[in-house]
Amino acid sequence: MSNTAGNGGSNPLMQAAATPVTPKYVYDPASGSYRLQAFTTPGCNNDFPDDPAAYARLAALWSQNVDGFTRQAITGNPWNSLYSAAQTAYYDPLSTPIPKGSGAVDVAWIAFPNRLIQYLGQNQVPPNPYNLPQSALFALADSGELSRYPIPEVRCPQPDWSGQLQPFGPYGPRGWLDEYCEFSVVRNAQNKITRIDFTCENPEYFQTLWRISPERVCAVYEQALNTGAPQDQWITVGVADLQLVDPASGQPVIDPETNRPAYNPLNRFNTTTFCVRSGTPAQRSGGAMHLTATPNTLQTELGLGAGATVQRSAGNTDPQALICCGQYGQNFRNSDPHIGQSINLAVGAGTNISLADPPGLYIQMPSFAQYQLPADPKLPPGASAADCWHIIRGFEHVTDEITGARFPGSFILHAAFQIPQDWIDAGVSFTVGDITIAGAPIEYGSQVQATLEIALFGRPIVPPPQPAPALPCVTSPSVVTEAQPLQILFQNVWDAYYGTTVNTPSGVTMSLASNSSIIPPTLYPGEKNVALALTYAAPTGEKPLPPEQWPTVYFTNADGSIDGKVSTKVTGFTGTVTYAVPGNTYPSASQLLNLSVSVAATAAAGVRGVVIVPAGQSFSASLTPAPAFLVVASSSTAA
């Protein structure tokens, strides 16, 4: 097993030694507690090892985004659900003291997608009509060709195979890999696997890094996908390879925040489960750089964590029943039900909890017990299958600043399974496809995926003495009176995302908007008439509206009051837009408001919430703003 930063070249990320970033805590000896100053970049990774100033800008923007996700998670859903709001047993580590010695606990699960097993595999309860052996599931996990395998629309409390069926989701070029671990496979001319790239990196981080430097994102791609690969298979990545393109004009979409091209998360080097590394550099494609399945987002994971803290009047001891009751994730995944019950039990035992910094989901070291290398006299003495596991981004071990001890697991972001260079230099003739697991040759990337786990790290602390009472299961009110804000983007970026159609192995096309991110746009003091697009879930009975019945939109301060320095005019309304709001498994119908937003020159810097007030109603303190929907930058940072 190796942990390397690369194999040379001009890429600074391939030259720099990998050193974890140290999280920023302040210790108060009077209270014996720590206070986190800012959220740390995923895996304590530093993508600007040669540029401290750029890393500082990235770290500040990343912390701002994660703080917004955290506040959204704690807010829950007070708009169109009952018993899922004010999830305060999930604490914000930026504002909550952490007692000295409060250790982190790991919650881990198998990375192979359990929903394939539940809905298609053998000996399941309830039984499915397909009854496929594990070898067939491995093949489907690599191909995603699931169009012949619809699953029940009703899946809570159990799949109802007698009812209506729907295509297997999530959709997308790797959508079915929904355990927060995706992979891409390189094969040789004999169709044998030579390399498998695994990633658990969240898409929000790459969107954030792109806003700081598209060129550095290109360097990260090259470093990750070229490390350890034969030089004649290396890729060269430029901004044009990763940028968002307008589907009508074919031109780059310019992000008004940066005046640079926007990012396309499903670019040619981060899509599908297979790679092309032959031909000219322009013909090469494929790779796994960050997660693409629509529910595989950090924002959703934080929301799941907060939702699972709520004690329920039923289902607390059954992970599938609890997730159906709390409606905080997708049942029958390995991840969501297990995460939810682990958090729920910790809170039920008398603690509050949050994800330990740096928040994220991380690849763990595989179990190599059932791996067997071919007999080859050129193998170095003591060689083992573990030597084929290469940590490319992140770290096997990270020290916990709160306890001074190692975290109880790894913080691996990206790893590759491939034959080590020293074996090749020694004359070893076999490749990954000749290694066996449980006696079977590695024909699919998912065979290796099934031997590793993904984990998150929670940090429980003793809460206030009055625990929240148990609540009934989440349900919908008979009449929804408030509009739920869902997502906001610059209008031209939204138009390109929503207008781009993605073909998928499942046979269901999807909108690229499903792979956008819940990151608020940034405006500068003095900007006028900036076009934004706001999607939302409408109150009961709202239909296509004439202009005089369009709702009013207000951006709000931290205390929930209207920010009079940010003026908003609704300029358009669309009754139905259909996409998977990032974090959701399936597409659904939402509504869209076109906004024209102006920021006064005297507006204070900071993050704003948003409230949508239906026509005929007035703003009131009883309305709950959706946190972190707009950022007003410091005037000193204006472009």
Average pLDDT over residues 473-496: 96
* Terminal-residue alpha carbon distance, the chain: 45
pLDDT-derived band at 16 (thresholds 50, 70, 90) equals very low
Separation of alpha carbons 48 and 55, rounded Å: 5
Give the per-residue pLDDT at 218. 98
Q: Where residue 12 falls among pLDDT bands split at 50, 70, 90?
A: low
How far is Cα 41 from Cα 36, in angstroms, rounded to an integer? 13
State the pairing for strand pair 522-523/626-632: parallel
**Which amino acid, one-letter code, is at 530?**
V
Nearest partner of 217 among 264, 257, 273, 258, judged by Cα = 264
Residue 14: per-residue pLDDT = 54
pLDDT > 70? residue 427: yes
Beta strands 566-579; 522-523: pairing state: unpaired
Q: What is the pLDDT of residue 8?
A: 40
Question: What does the pLDDT look like over 305-326, one tens digit per residue?
Answer: 999 999 998 777 899 999 999 9
Whether the bond between 358 and the residue before it is cis, its omega within 30 degrees of 0, is yes
Contact 587, 514 (CB under 8 A): yes
Segment 257-311, tens digit of pLDDT: 999 999 999 999 999 999 999 999 999 999 999 999 999 999 999 999 999 999 9
**pLDDT tens string 561-614:** 999 999 999 999 999 999 999 999 999 999 999 999 999 999 999 999 999 998
Residue 524 pLDDT exceeds 80: yes
């998670």: which residue's tokens? 73
* 11: pLDDT strictly greater than 90: no
Q: Please, which residues have CB within 8 angstroms of residue 249's CB and are 6 or more apart in sequence? A: none
pLDDT in the model for residue 384 = 97
Residue closest to 143 by CA, chosen among 153, 152, 132, 154: 132
Whether the pLDDT of residue 395 is over 70: the answer is: yes
Model confidence at 10: pLDDT above 90: no
Instruction: Name the band, by pLDDT with cuts 50, 70 and 90, for residue 13.
Output: low
Per-residue model confidence as pLDDT tens digits over 429-470: 999 999 999 999 999 999 999 999 999 999 999 876 677 788
Condensed to tens digits (0 to 9), the pLDDT of residues 335-366 reads 999 999 999 999 998 999 999 999 999 999 99
**Average pLDDT, stretch 116-121?**
98
For residue range 170-229, what is the model confidence (pLDDT) as tens digits? 999 999 999 999 999 999 999 999 999 999 999 999 999 999 999 999 999 999 999 999
pLDDT given at position 463: 73
The residues, ordered by sequence, that sit 6+ positions from 263 with a Cβ below 8 Å of its Cβ are: 206, 207, 210, 214, 217, 242, 243, 244
Give 92-103 pLDDT, tens digit per residue: 999 999 999 999
Query: How confident is the model at residue 316, as a pLDDT?
Result: 75
Q: CA 571, 574, 575: angle at the middle one, nearest 5?
A: 140
Is the pLDDT at 135 greater than 90, yes or no? Answer: yes
| Site of tokens 């969501």 | 336
Predicted local distance difference test score (pLDDT) of residue 548? 86
Give 365's DSSP letter: P
Contact (Cβ atoms closer than 8 angstroms) between residue 490 and residue 533 = yes
Mean pLDDT taken over the chain: 94
Q: What is the pTM of this model?
A: 0.96
Angle 319-326/298-308 helices, nearest 10 degrees? 100
CA gap 269, 206 in Å, rounded: 13
Q: Which helix (H) or strand (E) holds 38?
A: strand 33-38
Query: Within 13 A of 226's CA, how many CA atoms are on the CB side?
Result: 24
- DSSP conformation letters of 569-626: EEEEEEEEEEE--TT-SS-EEEEEEEEEEEE-TTPPPEEEEEEEE-TT----TTSPPE
- 17 pLDDT exceeds 60? no
